[in-house]
Structure 1
């Protein structure tokens, strides 16, 4: 149906107009009304959806259970509990029997309205019913509601109650609890439920592992994190998303687990520029510059374009190694390679390398180059130059730079470029 296509594509107004046009020539049926009602509800246009719902009898269309459930579910999610009650009463009057989806939606509306006792009453009605029984969605709804309110004991009680009633918890049930513990930083508890889930024969998903890892990393549980990584490697159907892998590599680096971090990188299917930057910086930080350059060289083959950040990491690494000429050469090569100019971070790395070697005149000329190219030195730039002057025994120049930094916002202050030129002339 074209109306459904328009709605799913985000053209809600157009879908509504097409329906209004079509009903002038063809009598719409219950399905057509339900499709448009769902589209309107998904766009939070509840008044229009209810108006359309009340219009159905004039076209001799009686709302069916799907139509009612659509409205009740969406209104309940949005906290329209009173309207949910009215619709439920209307169903009873019209003789439309409610099903488990209806009751679950009513229960959810009560949870949203923070009426947990009433929600439990609805659950009991289902549990004692001869014709209807609560399903996993019903139980998961109330488990989530308790967890959202930090009532973990109550949530776990419902979780156990579900099993006692013969309704097996599913992936969603376990993920809710895993996420709750992970968000609290109780990664070990989250991991316990992950293992329990797998013992029950439920395959953990990518989100299960990702959420669990998040909690374990917050708790700094290195051994458990490494265990989870191995478990993921054993499952062909599970691949961590790029963002999660990047965070994992970064965390392992902070924990000084460089080999393990690099192993995660090698196992990634779709690393991005951020991945490469993290790995290059990590390798350089731990004295593995050659390997860092190998990763950089592999970017082209992976169709990953380096950025200024990538070059800055390498320039910083070369500077730490004392390879100043190579650092300057790479900074010059940057514009040819990626058509971007060095930024203030690039220049600060180069300034630091020059000042560490007490080449303060070259550092001054570099600051003049920055100004000429429209790259304004920042506080780090000036502080680096001040420290360089102090180390070179040029206290007078250091003091002049310090005074300039203090008076930079004053109208009468000497422009930095002129000050640097004067310092070079004085020398």
Structure 2
């Protein structure tokens, strides 16, 4: 490049590393970094993308090696790198190691901790049923003047529900002024885990009634833009649990409501399931009569 009058720039170099890592070509990205190290000194952004790349392909050991190399060379991990590392540790069932990293941030760089980091830690603590620890983090966040968003509250609700603390979960839900799909998702998922399809249906109806399903696309786009995995709601499990009760009419009404708000695919699922239940009931009735 220099021979053609183009100066080596770490910013341009980092763009190449970013594209490679985003396309799961982190080994190639690392090779480029090593090969060109004499020409272009990697900076904190370079290392952050390598950490992201190795975390993305599930290579926690290599991600840790890059992390240590970055620190040894005097670069302080930014919040994005820390959150990537935290997410990967939590996903790989290394909760204690992730909490140690979070604790080191609380001790050394408390001012750098914002809503996104707290949201991540609370989500995984609630997933693992560590409600005591999650409340400590939740209270710390509020004491620092950081207002919890609905994703945080949805995680708290799910954590409480999964531990069978339904009354507390409903109190949190009642206290949410503008509940969105994040909050309802946490409640429905928790109720299904407790095998309470009737209550899950009531919450689902309330969500549709308030038009919150319209926010689903925006919610998914927002989560993907932040590089996070979209939470999955298992509608098949929801339908399976409710099939043990009288739900034919409910499914027909639900299908109509979903079509009204433009969710035709989901409406078709409910309609087909309602038809199957009606057919099954007719077969049962004929068997009983005969």
TM-score normalised to the size of structure 2? 0.68
Cross-structure match for 2:72: 89
Contact 1:175 1:208 in 2 (8 A): yes
Cα distance, 1:267–1:148 mapped onto 2, change above 3 Å: closer
Aligned with residue 125 of structure 1, among 99, 102, 108? 108
CA distance in 2, matches of 1:284, 1:104: 50
Number of the residue aligned with 1:35: 15
Instruction: Tell me what 2:180 maps to.
Output: 204
> Which TM-score applies when normalising by structure 1?
0.49
Say if 2:115 and 2:146, in contact at 8 Å, map to a contact too: yes
217, 232, 235: which one pairs with 2:210? 235
- Higher alpha-carbon Rg: 1
Q: Does 1:255 align with 2:230?
A: no
Q: Residues of 1 paired with 2:3 and 2:165: CA distance? A: 60
Task: Spell out, residue by residue over 1:240-263, the C-alpha distance to the aligned partner (whole angstroms, 9 max, x if none).
Answer: 79x866654554442224433332
Residue-pair matches, total: 260
Q: 143, 152, 155: which is aligned to 2:131?
A: 152
Contact in 1 for aligned 2:21/2:53 (Cα 8 Å)? yes
Equivalent residue number for residue 17 of structure 1:
none
Q: CA RMSD in A?
A: 3.9
1:216-268 CA-to-partner distances (Å, cap 9, x unmatched) read 24435466435423421333342579x86665455444222443333212212
1: CA distance between counterparts of 2:34 and 2:279? Answer: 68
Q: Is the 8 A contact 1:72 1:84 kept in 2?
A: yes
1:94-120: CA deviations, max 9, x gaps?
xxx654334545655666654233431
User: In the superposition, relative to structure 1, how do residues 73 and 91 fare at CA in structure 2: closer, same or farther (>3 Å)?
Assistant: farther
CA separation of 1:189 and 1:52: change in aligned 2, threshold 3 A: farther
The 3-state SS of whatever aligns with 1:255 is: coil
Secondary structure of the 2:106 match is helix
* Counterpart position of 1:214: 189
Q: 1:252 to 1:66 in 2, by over 3 A?
A: same
CA displacement 1:55-88 (0-9 Å, x = unmatched): 44444x4444433332334445642323212112
Structure 2 gaps of 5+ residues are: 218-232
After TM superposition, list the pairs within 5 Å mapping 1:14-163 onto structure 2: 29-59=9-39, 61-75=40-54, 78-79=59-60, 80-92=63-75, 98-105=77-84, 113=94, 114-115=96-97, 116-127=99-110, 132-163=111-142
Match of 1:171 in 2: 150
Higher relative contact order (CA 8 A, sep 6+): 2
